[in-house]
Amino acid sequence: MSLKLDGKVALVSGSGRGIGRAIALKLASEGARVVINDLDEAPANETVADIRAAGGGAVACVGNVTAPDFAERFVGTAVEAYKGLDIIVNNAGYTWDSVIQR
Q: Can you tell me the distance from the alpha carbon of 86 to that of 88, in angstroms, rounded to the nearest whole number? A: 7
Give the pLDDT confidence of 66-80 residue by residue, as tens digits: 999 999 999 999 999
> Of 30, 27, 33, whose CA–CA distance to 57 is shortest?
33
- Other Cβ atoms within 10 Å of 41 Cβ, number: 12
Q: HEC profile for 44-64?
A: HHHHHHHHHHCCCCEEECCCC
For the chain, what is the mean pLDDT?
A: 93
- Other Cβ atoms within 10 Å of 18 Cβ, number: 13
DSSP lists the bridge partners of residue 88 as 11
Give the pLDDT confidence of 3-40 residue by residue, as tens digits: 999 999 999 999 999 999 999 999 999 999 999 999 99
